[in-house]
């Protein structure tokens, strides 16, 4: 092997190595209990920020593995962040991934994350703090359920021009943003791509490449009429277009005095030959030239920027949120340059747990529905008893019945016997799973 071949081999090896080098800048799955409190910093910018707790929520696949940061107070702002070693995504793919579960049935609130520069003072983080990227679901009101992808460019924040719908049920969902070094991007929900494109085309970072020629004018005789009235079409001579005509049988009264009464006019009657207003037929315009298109020219203000989507000293991931109804759980945070690795992590965390979580969520909702129905039934019975007391319909037999212990409804007992071997409700309303049998 000569020197040239050896050099080419070394170059190919180095290039291959650079392509497959994996970097994990942040991975947080909250597997060490209260250890998260040493890594995450609560902002003190406002004294009344909402507090987070570590929780798996009311339904889950595994009570420990599914724990994440949960919002706990309604109608609150939240500001919490974690720091990692600064990095740049210049010439590197950037993958931002996390999961969020709105088990409370969120009506208005954020479920997104922000990436901040290393200069951020975490204890002073607030909604006006400079950030690089904001990504994730944002829900408020009916129909307003979108995935925000806001990117900073030259000190200004730009929103994606595409509308990306997010998931709005109570299950955990995985959100992934991928920014490539060639200024393209992709967004995935639950490890399935929902949109992709070019940064330059889908954000208004730069002036447009083309603009309308300011000196171009539509010719005065340009004919844009697709159809016209037929100039050769003529109204028939016998066409009656008067809806009413004078009554030919009417006679002027003998005592009519024009000097006093004015000129006599006979009454009108419907014209039996009336055909409506005549209009010439419509034909294709033989002179049609099409819609005039304003010619475009290269925009002298446009300059391409190969650094779109490149950020330097990325060092903090934060939750800067407002929520009307609390209860959202954030978990499985991942920042990396490896798309395949991010997908693998998503499948091993969210992917392996989603089906069981959904089953227990459905069971929980069914148990809650039955409980509410039973409470409504008891409330209705008590209201009837009060009405009977008011109207004097309360009997001695009813008084004897009140001394007896109320027996559990048969259908409720049967439901508990059927479900008791699988799950039970804890004091906090959470569904607990007998994982020895089921998992």
Q: What is the pLDDT along the chain (439 residues), one digit of tens a residue?
A: 555 455 545 555 454 444 569 999 999 999 999 999 999 999 999 999 999 999 999 888 888 999 999 999 999 999 999 999 999 999 999 999 999 999 998 889 999 999 999 999 999 999 999 999 999 999 987 778 999 999 999 999 999 999 999 988 899 999 999 999 999 999 999 999 999 999 999 999 999 999 999 999 999 999 999 999 999 999 998 888 888 888 888 888 888 888 887 888 888 889 888 888 899 999 999 999 999 999 999 999 999 999 999 999 999 999 999 999 999 999 999 999 999 999 999 999 999 988 888 888 888 888 888 888 888 888 888 888 887 777 766 555 555 555 554 555 555 444 444 444 445 555 555 555 554 444 3
What tokens does 415 get?
Answer: 């439901």
What tokens does 149 get?
Answer: 């992808």
What tokens does 39 get?
Answer: 């890594």
CA 374 vs CA 198, 371, 428: distances in Å = 55, 5, 19
pTM of the model: 0.73
- Was 138 annotated as part of a binding site? yes
Cα 36 to Cα 28: distance, rounded to the nearest angstrom:
9
Dihedral sign from CA coordinates of 349, 354, 357, 359: negative
Residue ranges of domains in the chain, CATH in brackets:
18-205+309-351 (2.60.120.200), 364-438 (no CATH)
Contact of 66 with 57, CB cutoff 8 Å: yes
- Please tell me the predicted confidence (pLDDT) of residue 337: 98
What tokens does 280 get?
Answer: 């010439």
- Was 112 annotated as part of a binding site? yes
- Please tell me the predicted confidence (pLDDT) of residue 59: 84
What tokens does 117 get?
Answer: 């520069």
- Please tell me the predicted confidence (pLDDT) of residue 384: 80
Place of tokens 């000129």: 263
The pairing of beta strand 282-284 with beta strand 52-55: unpaired
CA 388 vs CA 173, 383, 401, 404, 427: distances in Å = 52, 9, 15, 19, 36
What tokens does 169 get?
Answer: 């049920």
Cα 404 to Cα 24: distance, rounded to the nearest angstrom:
66
- Was 233 annotated as part of a binding site? no
- Was 364 annotated as part of a binding site? no
The pairing of beta strand 76-87 with beta strand 40-42: antiparallel
- Was 114 annotated as part of a binding site? yes
**DSSP for residue 247:** -
Q: Which of 104, 89, 136 is nearest to 320 (CA)?
A: 136
Cα 45 to Cα 143: distance, rounded to the nearest angstrom:
32
């Amino acid at each position: 092997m000569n020197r040239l071949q050896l050099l080419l081999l070394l170059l190919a090896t180095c290039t291959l190595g650079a392509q497959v080098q994996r970097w994990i800048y942040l991975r947080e799955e909250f597997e060490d209990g209260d250890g998260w409190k040493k890594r995450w910093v609560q902002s003190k910018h406002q004294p009344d920020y909402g507090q987070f707790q570590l929780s798996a929520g009311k339904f889950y696949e595994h009570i420990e593995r599914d724990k994440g940061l949960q919002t706990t107070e309604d109608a609150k702002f939240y500001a919490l962040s974690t720091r990692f070693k600064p990095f740049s995504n210049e010439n590197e793919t950037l993958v931002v991934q996390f999961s969020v579960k709105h088990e409370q049935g969120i009506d208005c609130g954020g479920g997104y994350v922000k990436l901040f520069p290393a200069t951020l003072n975490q204890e002073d983080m607030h909604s006006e703090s400079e950030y690089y990227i904001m990504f994730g679901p944002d829900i408020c009101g009916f129909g307003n359920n979108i995935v925000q992808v806001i990117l900073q460019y030259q000190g200004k924040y730009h929103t994606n021009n595409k509308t990306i719908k997010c998931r709005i049920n109570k299950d955990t969902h995985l959100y992934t943003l991928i920014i490539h070094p060639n200024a393209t991007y992709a967004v995935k929900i639950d490890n399935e791509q929902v949109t992709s494109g070019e940064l330059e085309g889908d954000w208004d970072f730069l002036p447009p490449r083309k603009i309308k020629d300011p000196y171009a004018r539509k010719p005065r005789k340009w004919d844009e009429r697709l159809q016209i009235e037929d100039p050769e079409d003529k109204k028939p001579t016998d066409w009656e277009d008067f809806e009413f005509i004078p009554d030919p049988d009417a006679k002027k009264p003998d005592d009519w005095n024009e000097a006093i009464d004015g000129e006599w006019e006979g009454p009108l009657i419907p014209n039996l030959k009336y055909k409506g207003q005549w209009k010439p037929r419509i034909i294709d315009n033989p002179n049609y030239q099409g819609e005039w298109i304003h010619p475009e020219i290269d925009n002298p203000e446009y300059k391409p920027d190969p650094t779109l989507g490149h950020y330097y000293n990325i060092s903090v991931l934060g939750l800067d949120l407002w929520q009307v109804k609390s209860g959202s759980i954030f978990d499985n945070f991942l920042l990396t340059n490896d798309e395949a690795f991010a997908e693998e992590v998503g499948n091993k965390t969210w992917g392996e747990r989603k089906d069981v979580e959904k089953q227990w969520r459905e069971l929980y909702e069914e148990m809650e529905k039955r409980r509410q129905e039973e409470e409504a039934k008891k409330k209705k019975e008590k209201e009837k008893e009060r009405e009977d007391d008011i109207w004097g319909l309360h009997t001695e037999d009813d008084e004897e019945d009140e001394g007896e212990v109320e027996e559990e409804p048969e259908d409720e007992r049967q439901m508990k016997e059927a479900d008791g071997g699988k799950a039970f409700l804890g004091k906090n309303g959470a569904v607990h799973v007998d994982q020895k049998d089921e998992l």
